[in-house]
A and B are shown apart, each in its own frame.
Chain A
Amino acid sequence: MSASTTTPMNSAVSLLGPAKLIRLLSNLQYPAMGITGLLALWWVGGLLIENNENLSAFSAFAPAPAFHALYDLVASGEIWAPITSSLYRILVGLTWGIAIGVPVGVTIGYIGVALKVANVPFQFLRMISPLAWMPIAVMAFETWDSAIIFLLVMATVWPIIFSTAHGVRRIDPNWFKVARNLGASGTQMLRRIILPAIMTDVMAGIRLAVGVAWVVLVPAEYLGVTSGLGYAINDARDTLSYDYLAAVVLVIGIIGYGLDSVCNLLIKRFNWHAE
């Protein structure tokens, strides 16, 4: 073989360097083992279903038909419309959740009396499943979209409020004293001290909120709307397209994991604690 021949491995080595490549592979080995285990379980489950005459109608849930359906959905471009609809709802719901949750969290974290007053009602409301608000949301909002976004706000606002308030309560009291001592106004205190100090906690709250919202979104989209990943699942079930149903479940898991990873990156970006 000539010295100038390049293989994918050679390119990767020259791009990353051997030490980095080894570290990358070593970091990936455990996730790879986990994913392989999950696929194996799925495959075994598919085999069991296929070999059970009572369940064989559901054999399209197995990995091979599901990945084939996923390829079809991606190749035909059909998958992008439901993904866009669902992500739009998540984005709007989360934006409202942040817009309400952060100021309320700062207030109840900063003012001790506000926390005492709000604690019981907020804990009570937090414990109500967001889906339980559906009948009220349907009556209160003109469109199904708005009703679903309301449910997402109800899902996202509590983790953000409590995480933000927790962050504010953890702020070193000396930081307030030093800032006041240097002549900080209320706005400057908020902008320069409180918000940077609690950013990691806010992001942790947003991460939790995204997780809850993503879980709530799918059942919320079963109702009324004709778009989104929840609707796609419902549609696949109604048309007995179980391979497509499994493919959409895969998409939901992949996007959920992606959203969580983005949140995790943002937490790292805003984390000021020394390693």
Chain B
Amino acid sequence: MGASLSIDYVTHQFSPSAAPTLKDIDTRIDPGELVALIGRSGCGKSTLLHMMAGLLIPSQGCIRINSHQVSKPSAKWNMMFQKASLYPWMSVKENAALGLMFAGLQKAEAVEKVNSLLDMLGLHDKKDVNVQSLSGGQQQRVALARSLATDPDILLLDEPFSALDAFTRTALQEEVPAICRERGITMIIVTHDIDEAVAMADRVLIMSQNPGRIVDELEVGLPWPRRHMDNGFQIRREELMNRFKGTDTGLQGRQQPITTQQSESAA
């Protein structure tokens, strides 16, 4: 079952003298919720995701998962990156089983456990091949299997499909939310692709930059699976685009950061 995640007034500076990258981020994500975080390049959304993963510590405020403060990375809330970053001296199944081996399982046992996962992700005939011989899409599937193998409560996705071709990207945009919903995993994806946000999320958080703040949000509320050409999808896409433009130019949408209290009252 997925975990809840709360971000409590998080501010982040890369050095004490630097301007804050993120300021007063305050929001809550429910167990099993699928959330997209969108914003322009450099607005700090990846930094925020790294803090959720425990790879960075906030300068102020804190991030809690199931009420416990995140102070270090864990396989239970793991992150998938833009680059698959597979280990080229390992086979597909060894890469996928790595998190389980780190958790203390013997190699044979860990590899056995990822078999069904690799089958599910369409890698049944690639288990023993070296990862260097895979296409970009297949490599991202292995990275996804590696993330899912540890049975995470939260899956954090940092623009994981941005380097893929359109067909593979669309397929994974359908598959990943489906897997998360089926397993009850809380999913948070960082993207600057509005279509991707609408396709994958229950809720979209919009970030402004300098410093990065969450300035608006949109409940997507579309049935699954989502088709890009559906009327509802297009309407939500337009709405999100307008809100994004509004927050960006100051013509429309909220300019104040959204706090937990505001989110709760809006709900």
> How far, in Å, is A194 (CB) from chain B's closest CB?
11
By the criterion CB–CB under 8 Å, are A181 and B53 in contact? yes
A182 touches B89 (CB 8 A): no
Report A127 CB to chain B, min CB distance, Å. 34
B18-26, B96-104, B163-171: which lies at the A interface?
A: B96-104
A178 touches B102 (CB 8 A): no
Q: Which residues of A contact B88 (CB under 8 A)?
A: 272-274
Q: Which residue of B lies closest to A189 (CB)?
A: B102
A184 touches B81 (CB 8 A): no
Give residues 67-90 of B contacting A (CB, 8 Å): 73-75, 78-79, 81, 83, 85, 87-90
Task: Decide: A188 near B85, CB < 8 A? Known: A181-B73, A182-B150, A274-B133.
Answer: no
Q: Are B102 and A174 interface neighbours, CB within 8 A?
A: no
The answer on a CB contact under 8 Å between A182 and B78 is: yes
**Is A87 interfacial (CB 8 A cutoff)?**
no
B81 lies within 8 A of A192 (CB): no
Which residues of chain A are within 8 angstroms of B98 by Cβ–Cβ distance? 179, 182, 192
Best-buried of A172, A175, A192, A199 by chain B (most CB within 10 Å): A192
Asked whether A175 lies within 8 Å of B146 as measured between CB atoms, the reply is: no
CA distance A181 to B101 in the complex (A): 13
Taking CB atoms and an 8 Å cut-off, the chain B residues in 102-150 that contact chain A are 102-103, 130, 132-133, 146, 150
* Complex contacts, A273 vs chain B, CB 8 Å: 88
Could you tell me the distance in whole angstroms from the C-beta of B142 to the nearest C-beta in chain A? Answer: 12
Asked whether B87 lies within 8 Å of A196 as measured between CB atoms, the reply is yes
A177 touches B55 (CB 8 A): yes
Q: Are B75 and A178 in contact, CB atoms less than 8 angstroms apart? A: no
Secondary structure class of chain A's binding surface, majority of residues:
helix
**Quick check: A274 and B150 within 8 Å, CB to CB?**
no
Instruction: Please judge, given known A-B contacts A183-B103, A184-B102, whether A178 and B81 are in contact too, CB under 8 Å.
Output: yes
A184 proximity list for chain B (CB < 8 A): 102
A164-199 interface with B by 8 A CB criterion:
172, 174-175, 177-185, 188, 192-193, 196-197, 199
Nearest-neighbour CB distance to chain A for B58, whole angstroms, equals 17
Question: Interface size of B by Cβ–Cβ distance < 8 Å?
Answer: 24
- Decide if B55 touches A181 in the complex (CB within 8 Å): yes
Query: Chain B contacts of A172 at CB under 8 A?
Result: 85
A197 cross-chain contacts in B, Cβ below 8 A: 87, 89
A133-165 interface code vs B (CB 8 A; 1 in, 0 out): 000000000000000000000000000000000
Q: Is A175 a contact of B85 with CB atoms below 8 Å?
A: yes
Which residues of B are found within 8 Å of A174, using beta-carbon distances?
A: 81, 83, 85
Contacts of B89 in A (CB 8 A): 196-197, 199, 272
Q: Is the CB of B85 within 8 A of A177?
A: yes
Q: Kindly provide the distance from the CB of B80 to the nearest chain A CB, expressed in whole angstroms.
A: 9
CB <8 Å contact, B85 and A183: no
**Cβ-defined contact, B75 with A180, below 8 A:** no
| Contact assessment for A182 and B99 in the assembled complex, using a CB-CB cutoff below 8 Å | yes
The answer for the CA separation of A81 and B73 in the assembled complex, in Å, is 58
With the chains together, A177 CA to B79 CA distance in Å?
10
> Are B87 and A182 interface neighbours, CB within 8 A?
no
CB-contact partner of A193 in B53, B74, B87, B133, under 8 A: B87
User: Bound complex: CA of A42 vs CA of B130, how far in Å?
Assistant: 48
Q: What A residues does B73 contact at CB under 8 A?
A: 180-183
Of B81, B87, B99, the most chain A CB neighbours within 10 A belong to B87
| Cβ–Cβ contact B55 & A180, under 8 A | yes
- For A174, give the chain B residue with the smallest CB separation: B85
Most buried by A among B102, B133, B146: B102
- Closest beta carbon of chain B to A253's beta carbon, Å: 34
Residues of B near A182 (CB, < 8 A) are: 73, 75, 78, 98-99, 102, 146, 150
Q: Verify A181–B78 contact, CB threshold 8 A.
A: yes
Q: Which residues of A contact B81 (CB under 8 A)?
A: 174, 177-178
Contacts beyond the supplied A181-B79, A199-B89: 19 A-B pairs with Cβ under 8 Å = A172-B85, A174-B81, A177-B85, A178-B85, A179-B98, A180-B73, A181-B55, A181-B73, A182-B73, A182-B78, A182-B102, A183-B74, A183-B99, A183-B102, A188-B101, A188-B102, A192-B102, A196-B89, A196-B90
Shortest 10 CB-CB distances between A and B: which pairs? A272-B89, A174-B85, A182-B99, A274-B132, A183-B75, A196-B89, A184-B102, A178-B85, A181-B73, A183-B102
Can you show 30 pairs from A to B with CB atoms below 8 A apart?
A: A172-B85, A174-B81, A174-B83, A175-B85, A175-B87, A177-B85, A180-B55, A181-B53, A181-B55, A181-B73, A181-B78, A182-B73, A182-B78, A182-B98, A182-B99, A182-B102, A182-B150, A183-B73, A183-B78, A183-B103, A184-B102, A188-B102, A192-B102, A196-B87, A196-B89, A197-B87, A197-B89, A199-B89, A274-B88, A274-B132
